[in-house]
Structure 1
Amino acid sequence: MMLWVFAAIGALIILGLSIYAGILFSRLHKQNKEIAAGEAKRLEYIHESIATIALAMQQGQCELSEGCIRLAVLLDNVPNAEQQGFAKRFPAIHSMFEKIKHMPTHDARKTYPKKEIRKMDREREKLEVEMEADIQTDVVAIIAWVKSVRA
Protein backbone atom coordinates (compact mmCIF):
# COMPACT_ATOMS: atom_id res chain seq x y z
CA MET A 1 0.00 0.00 0.00
CA MET A 2 2.81 2.37 0.93
CA LEU A 3 4.54 1.61 -2.37
CA TRP A 4 1.45 2.72 -4.31
CA VAL A 5 1.30 5.98 -2.34
CA PHE A 6 4.96 6.75 -3.12
CA ALA A 7 4.42 5.81 -6.77
CA ALA A 8 1.37 8.11 -6.96
CA ILE A 9 3.28 10.98 -5.29
CA GLY A 10 6.22 10.41 -7.66
CA ALA A 11 3.91 10.41 -10.66
CA LEU A 12 2.30 13.67 -9.48
CA ILE A 13 5.73 15.25 -9.02
CA ILE A 14 6.81 14.14 -12.51
CA LEU A 15 3.53 15.41 -13.96
CA GLY A 16 3.94 18.77 -12.22
CA LEU A 17 7.54 19.14 -13.38
CA SER A 18 6.52 18.18 -16.93
CA ILE A 19 3.82 20.84 -16.95
CA TYR A 20 6.28 23.40 -15.56
CA ALA A 21 8.86 22.45 -18.22
CA GLY A 22 6.19 22.82 -20.92
CA ILE A 23 5.30 26.29 -19.63
CA LEU A 24 8.99 27.29 -19.64
CA PHE A 25 9.48 25.98 -23.20
CA SER A 26 6.39 27.87 -24.32
CA ARG A 27 7.73 31.11 -22.79
CA LEU A 28 11.13 30.53 -24.39
CA HIS A 29 9.54 29.95 -27.78
CA LYS A 30 7.49 33.15 -27.44
CA GLN A 31 10.56 35.11 -26.32
CA ASN A 32 12.59 33.81 -29.28
CA LYS A 33 9.82 34.84 -31.68
CA GLU A 34 9.75 38.33 -30.14
CA ILE A 35 13.53 38.64 -30.44
CA ALA A 36 13.43 37.51 -34.07
CA ALA A 37 10.64 39.98 -34.83
CA GLY A 38 12.63 42.77 -33.16
CA GLU A 39 15.74 41.88 -35.16
CA ALA A 40 13.72 41.82 -38.38
CA LYS A 41 12.24 45.23 -37.56
CA ARG A 42 15.71 46.62 -36.73
CA LEU A 43 17.14 45.25 -39.98
CA GLU A 44 14.25 46.70 -41.99
CA TYR A 45 14.89 50.09 -40.34
CA ILE A 46 18.59 49.88 -41.26
CA HIS A 47 17.77 48.94 -44.85
CA GLU A 48 15.21 51.75 -45.10
CA SER A 49 17.74 54.25 -43.71
CA ILE A 50 20.44 53.08 -46.13
CA ALA A 51 18.05 53.39 -49.08
CA THR A 52 16.87 56.84 -48.00
CA ILE A 53 20.39 58.21 -47.53
CA ALA A 54 21.64 56.69 -50.79
CA LEU A 55 18.70 58.14 -52.70
CA ALA A 56 19.27 61.57 -51.10
CA MET A 57 22.95 61.39 -52.12
CA GLN A 58 21.98 60.39 -55.65
CA GLN A 59 19.57 63.33 -55.92
CA GLY A 60 22.04 65.83 -54.40
CA GLN A 61 19.93 66.37 -51.28
CA CYS A 62 22.71 65.17 -48.98
CA GLU A 63 26.39 66.06 -49.03
CA LEU A 64 28.43 63.12 -50.25
CA SER A 65 30.75 63.17 -47.25
CA GLU A 66 27.88 63.19 -44.76
CA GLY A 67 26.14 60.41 -46.67
CA CYS A 68 29.32 58.33 -46.74
CA ILE A 69 29.72 58.64 -42.97
CA ARG A 70 26.12 57.65 -42.37
CA LEU A 71 26.17 54.78 -44.87
CA ALA A 72 29.44 53.36 -43.57
CA VAL A 73 28.10 53.32 -40.01
CA LEU A 74 24.77 51.80 -41.05
CA LEU A 75 26.47 49.14 -43.17
CA ASP A 76 28.65 48.24 -40.18
CA ASN A 77 25.42 47.60 -38.24
CA VAL A 78 24.06 45.10 -40.75
CA PRO A 79 24.31 41.57 -39.34
CA ASN A 80 27.38 39.72 -40.64
CA ALA A 81 28.75 42.97 -42.09
CA GLU A 82 32.31 41.64 -42.20
CA GLN A 83 31.32 38.52 -44.10
CA GLN A 84 29.34 40.60 -46.59
CA GLY A 85 32.46 42.63 -47.43
CA PHE A 86 30.82 46.03 -47.73
CA ALA A 87 34.19 47.83 -47.74
CA LYS A 88 35.13 45.95 -50.91
CA ARG A 89 31.67 46.11 -52.47
CA PHE A 90 31.36 49.87 -51.93
CA PRO A 91 35.01 51.03 -51.88
CA ALA A 92 34.49 54.72 -52.62
CA ILE A 93 32.05 55.17 -49.75
CA HIS A 94 34.36 53.45 -47.30
CA SER A 95 37.39 55.29 -48.67
CA MET A 96 35.67 58.64 -48.14
CA PHE A 97 34.63 57.57 -44.65
CA GLU A 98 38.19 56.58 -43.76
CA LYS A 99 39.53 59.91 -45.07
CA ILE A 100 37.09 62.10 -43.12
CA LYS A 101 36.18 60.12 -40.02
CA HIS A 102 38.75 62.06 -37.99
CA MET A 103 36.96 65.32 -38.69
CA PRO A 104 34.74 66.56 -35.85
CA THR A 105 30.98 66.74 -36.26
CA HIS A 106 28.11 68.39 -34.41
CA ASP A 107 29.10 69.88 -31.04
CA ALA A 108 32.71 68.73 -31.41
CA ARG A 109 33.12 71.21 -34.30
CA LYS A 110 32.38 74.07 -31.92
CA THR A 111 35.50 73.31 -29.90
CA TYR A 112 37.81 73.92 -32.91
CA PRO A 113 38.93 77.34 -34.14
CA LYS A 114 36.98 78.62 -37.16
CA LYS A 115 40.14 78.66 -39.28
CA GLU A 116 40.73 74.96 -38.65
CA ILE A 117 37.08 74.14 -39.34
CA ARG A 118 37.25 75.99 -42.68
CA LYS A 119 40.43 74.09 -43.55
CA MET A 120 38.75 70.74 -42.81
CA ASP A 121 35.65 71.80 -44.77
CA ARG A 122 37.79 72.69 -47.81
CA GLU A 123 39.57 69.33 -47.53
CA ARG A 124 36.25 67.51 -47.29
CA GLU A 125 34.75 69.44 -50.21
CA LYS A 126 37.84 68.73 -52.34
CA LEU A 127 37.47 65.01 -51.59
CA GLU A 128 33.79 65.16 -52.53
CA VAL A 129 34.63 66.63 -55.93
CA GLU A 130 37.48 64.17 -56.56
CA MET A 131 35.49 61.11 -55.53
CA GLU A 132 32.00 62.09 -56.70
CA ALA A 133 31.80 59.75 -59.70
CA ASP A 134 33.05 56.74 -57.74
CA ILE A 135 30.78 57.51 -54.81
CA GLN A 136 27.77 57.84 -57.13
CA THR A 137 28.65 54.45 -58.63
CA ASP A 138 28.65 52.98 -55.12
CA VAL A 139 25.35 54.72 -54.35
CA VAL A 140 23.71 53.05 -57.36
CA ALA A 141 25.12 49.70 -56.21
CA ILE A 142 23.85 50.25 -52.66
CA ILE A 143 20.36 51.08 -53.89
CA ALA A 144 20.36 47.90 -55.98
CA TRP A 145 21.68 45.87 -53.03
CA VAL A 146 18.98 47.17 -50.68
CA LYS A 147 16.29 46.36 -53.25
CA SER A 148 17.66 42.82 -53.60
CA VAL A 149 17.76 42.10 -49.86
CA ARG A 150 14.29 43.53 -49.30
CA ALA A 151 12.72 41.54 -52.13
Structure 2
Amino acid sequence: MTSWAITLFIVGLLVIAALAGYALYLWRKVWRREQQLAALQANQHAALAEDLRILAGSLLDEQVPLIEGAIRIKVLLDNYDAQLGQDPRCQVFQRLFEATATVPTHAAWNALDRAERRRHEAAFSALELQHKAEARRSARWLLDEALPKGRQAA
Protein backbone atom coordinates (compact mmCIF):
# COMPACT_ATOMS: atom_id res chain seq x y z
CA MET A 1 0.00 0.00 0.00
CA THR A 2 1.17 3.45 -0.78
CA SER A 3 1.24 6.26 1.70
CA TRP A 4 -1.61 7.92 -0.21
CA ALA A 5 -3.82 4.82 0.19
CA ILE A 6 -2.95 4.57 3.88
CA THR A 7 -3.81 8.24 4.38
CA LEU A 8 -7.16 7.78 2.61
CA PHE A 9 -7.82 4.67 4.67
CA ILE A 10 -7.11 6.52 7.95
CA VAL A 11 -9.23 9.51 6.86
CA GLY A 12 -12.04 7.10 5.96
CA LEU A 13 -11.81 5.44 9.37
CA LEU A 14 -11.88 8.86 11.08
CA VAL A 15 -14.97 9.90 9.09
CA ILE A 16 -16.68 6.61 9.96
CA ALA A 17 -15.77 7.05 13.65
CA ALA A 18 -17.03 10.66 13.62
CA LEU A 19 -20.31 9.64 11.98
CA ALA A 20 -20.71 6.76 14.44
CA GLY A 21 -20.10 9.14 17.34
CA TYR A 22 -22.63 11.62 15.96
CA ALA A 23 -25.17 8.82 15.45
CA LEU A 24 -24.66 7.72 19.06
CA TYR A 25 -25.13 11.32 20.25
CA LEU A 26 -28.39 11.61 18.29
CA TRP A 27 -29.62 8.22 19.51
CA ARG A 28 -29.04 9.23 23.14
CA LYS A 29 -30.83 12.52 22.54
CA VAL A 30 -33.87 10.66 21.14
CA TRP A 31 -33.77 8.20 24.03
CA ARG A 32 -33.75 11.05 26.58
CA ARG A 33 -36.67 12.74 24.83
CA GLU A 34 -38.63 9.50 24.84
CA GLN A 35 -37.99 9.12 28.57
CA GLN A 36 -39.09 12.72 29.21
CA LEU A 37 -42.23 12.18 27.13
CA ALA A 38 -43.04 8.96 28.98
CA ALA A 39 -42.59 10.72 32.33
CA LEU A 40 -44.78 13.62 31.19
CA GLN A 41 -47.50 11.23 30.02
CA ALA A 42 -47.34 9.32 33.31
CA ASN A 43 -47.69 12.57 35.25
CA GLN A 44 -50.63 13.65 33.09
CA HIS A 45 -52.27 10.25 33.57
CA ALA A 46 -51.80 10.51 37.33
CA ALA A 47 -53.24 14.04 37.35
CA LEU A 48 -56.28 12.89 35.35
CA ALA A 49 -56.83 10.02 37.78
CA GLU A 50 -56.66 12.43 40.71
CA ASP A 51 -59.08 14.82 38.97
CA LEU A 52 -61.46 11.91 38.38
CA ARG A 53 -61.23 10.91 42.03
CA ILE A 54 -62.02 14.47 43.12
CA LEU A 55 -64.97 14.75 40.71
CA ALA A 56 -66.39 11.35 41.65
CA GLY A 57 -66.09 12.24 45.34
CA SER A 58 -67.70 15.61 44.73
CA LEU A 59 -70.55 13.96 42.87
CA LEU A 60 -71.09 11.55 45.77
CA ASP A 61 -70.94 14.37 48.32
CA GLU A 62 -73.34 16.40 46.16
CA GLN A 63 -70.84 19.25 45.94
CA VAL A 64 -71.34 19.37 42.18
CA PRO A 65 -74.65 19.08 40.30
CA LEU A 66 -75.22 15.57 38.98
CA ILE A 67 -75.43 16.56 35.32
CA GLU A 68 -72.34 18.78 35.44
CA GLY A 69 -70.36 16.18 37.37
CA ALA A 70 -71.35 13.39 34.99
CA ILE A 71 -70.36 15.44 31.94
CA ARG A 72 -67.00 16.34 33.44
CA ILE A 73 -66.34 12.75 34.50
CA LYS A 74 -67.20 11.50 30.99
CA VAL A 75 -64.78 13.95 29.35
CA LEU A 76 -61.99 13.12 31.81
CA LEU A 77 -62.60 9.38 31.37
CA ASP A 78 -62.23 9.77 27.61
CA ASN A 79 -58.84 11.40 28.17
CA TYR A 80 -57.77 9.10 31.00
CA ASP A 81 -58.70 5.70 29.55
CA ALA A 82 -61.13 5.29 26.66
CA GLN A 83 -61.63 1.60 27.56
CA LEU A 84 -62.68 2.55 31.09
CA GLY A 85 -65.08 5.12 29.66
CA GLN A 86 -66.73 2.34 27.64
CA ASP A 87 -67.12 0.06 30.67
CA PRO A 88 -70.83 -0.69 31.25
CA ARG A 89 -70.51 0.67 34.79
CA CYS A 90 -69.57 4.09 33.33
CA GLN A 91 -72.16 4.24 30.56
CA VAL A 92 -74.43 6.48 32.66
CA PHE A 93 -71.91 9.29 32.21
CA GLN A 94 -72.01 8.80 28.44
CA ARG A 95 -75.83 8.75 28.43
CA LEU A 96 -76.05 11.98 30.45
CA PHE A 97 -73.44 13.60 28.21
CA GLU A 98 -75.38 12.67 25.07
CA ALA A 99 -78.72 13.74 26.59
CA THR A 100 -77.35 17.23 27.29
CA ALA A 101 -75.11 17.65 24.24
CA THR A 102 -77.48 20.06 22.53
CA VAL A 103 -77.95 22.32 25.55
CA PRO A 104 -76.26 25.70 24.99
CA THR A 105 -73.47 26.64 27.38
CA HIS A 106 -71.82 29.79 28.67
CA ALA A 107 -72.87 32.91 26.75
CA ALA A 108 -75.38 30.95 24.65
CA TRP A 109 -77.09 29.78 27.86
CA ASN A 110 -77.29 33.34 29.13
CA ALA A 111 -78.76 34.42 25.79
CA LEU A 112 -81.68 31.97 26.10
CA ASP A 113 -85.02 33.37 27.13
CA ARG A 114 -86.33 32.39 30.52
CA ALA A 115 -88.87 29.86 29.19
CA GLU A 116 -86.21 28.03 27.20
CA ARG A 117 -83.89 27.88 30.22
CA ARG A 118 -86.73 26.52 32.38
CA ARG A 119 -87.43 23.85 29.75
CA HIS A 120 -83.78 22.73 29.85
CA GLU A 121 -83.74 22.83 33.66
CA ALA A 122 -86.86 20.65 33.75
CA ALA A 123 -85.11 18.18 31.45
CA PHE A 124 -82.07 18.25 33.77
CA SER A 125 -84.31 17.46 36.76
CA ALA A 126 -85.91 14.55 34.92
CA LEU A 127 -82.47 13.21 33.94
CA GLU A 128 -81.26 13.53 37.54
CA LEU A 129 -84.25 11.62 38.87
CA GLN A 130 -83.80 8.91 36.27
CA HIS A 131 -80.01 8.48 36.56
CA LYS A 132 -78.98 9.68 40.03
CA ALA A 133 -78.70 6.26 41.68
CA GLU A 134 -76.80 4.76 38.75
CA ALA A 135 -74.45 7.76 38.53
CA ARG A 136 -73.72 7.51 42.24
CA ARG A 137 -73.03 3.75 41.92
CA SER A 138 -70.70 4.44 39.00
CA ALA A 139 -68.86 7.19 40.86
CA ARG A 140 -68.47 4.89 43.88
CA TRP A 141 -67.16 2.11 41.61
CA LEU A 142 -64.64 4.51 40.06
CA LEU A 143 -63.39 5.52 43.50
CA ASP A 144 -63.32 2.06 45.03
CA GLU A 145 -62.23 -0.17 42.15
CA ALA A 146 -61.39 1.47 38.85
CA LEU A 147 -59.07 4.33 39.77
CA PRO A 148 -55.75 3.95 41.58
CA LYS A 149 -55.67 5.26 45.12
CA GLY A 150 -54.09 8.67 45.74
CA ARG A 151 -51.07 9.66 43.63
CA GLN A 152 -50.34 6.06 42.56
CA ALA A 153 -52.16 6.80 39.30
CA ALA A 154 -49.05 6.67 37.11
Matched AA of 2:31 = H
2:142 paired with 1:139:
no
Distance across 2 between alignment mates of 1:54 and 1:135: 9
**Structure 2 unaligned residues grouped into runs of 5+:** none
Q: Which amino acid aligns with 2:100?
A: I
Q: Give the deviation of 1:85 after TM superposition.
A: 5.2
Comparing 23-32 with 112-121, greater Cα deviation is found at 112-121
Which residues of 2 match residues 1-151 of structure 1 at below 5 A?
A: 1-79=3-81, 81=82, 83-84=83-84, 86-144=86-144, 145-147=146-148, 150=153
Q: 1:77 is paired with a residue of what secondary structure?
A: helix
TM-score norm. by structure 2 comes to 0.89
TM-score (norm 1): 0.91
The CA deviation at 1:142 is 1.3
What SS does the corresponding residue of 1:147 show, helix, strand or coil? Answer: coil
Please tell me the residue identity of whatever aligns with 2:103. Answer: M
2:147 alignment partner, SS class:
helix
2:84–2:90 Cα contact (<8 Å) kept? no
> What amino acid maps onto 1:27 in structure 2?
K
Q: Return the letter of the residue paired with 1:76.
A: D
Which deviates more, 113-122 or 21-30? Answer: 113-122
Aligned-residue identity in percent:
26
5+ residue gaps, structure 1: none
Shift of 1:106: 1.8
Aligned-partner Cα distance in 2 for 1:85–1:43 = 14
Quote the RMSD (CA, aligned, Å).
1.7
**What letter corresponds to residue 114 of structure 1 in structure 2?**
R
Aligned 8 A contact 2:49 2:147 in 1: yes
* AA partner of residue 39 (structure 1): Q
Amino acid aligned to 1:60:
E
Q: How many residues align?
A: 149
- Give the counterpart letter for 1:2 in structure 2: W
State the SS of the aligned residue for 1:62. Answer: coil
Q: Which structure 1 residue ranges, 4+ long, deviate > 4 Å from structure 2?
A: none
